[in-house]
Amino acid sequence: MTIFQKIIDGEIPCSRLYEDDRCLAFKDIQPQAPFHALVIPKKPVEMIAKADEADEALCGHLLRVAAKVAKDAGYEAFRLVMNNGEAAGQSVMHLHVHVLAGRDMTWPPG
């Protein structure tokens, strides 16, 4: 069981920003920007590459919620990041979208 599943199950507290029947958004405890939220599906999907056709609507929902969370926090400009696998920086093997805002973002990232 991942730390994200424990957050979903209420075993670990979080600073909730949004929740519905499909996902949960909360503040990252190690922020990389003045605003840093995570949007996670309640369905356990390990990473985006392991999402299947049945997860297509869920993945789109995560992106729409990410935009809503940024807008609700007062940000028009923001960056969404989704890592796939350890070599790409994914440290929790539960699909998640990082929402970063509140500072200038450099390119290329990482």
108: preceding bond cis by omega (within 30 degrees): yes
From the DSSP assignment, how many helices (H) and strands (E) are in the chain? 2, 5
DSSP string for 72-86: HTT-SS-EEE---SG
Residues designated as active site: 96
Kindly state the DSSP code that residue 105 receives in the 8-state scheme.
Answer: P
- Residues 105 and 44: their CA atoms lie apart, in Å, by 30
**CA within 13 Å, CB half, 8:** 20
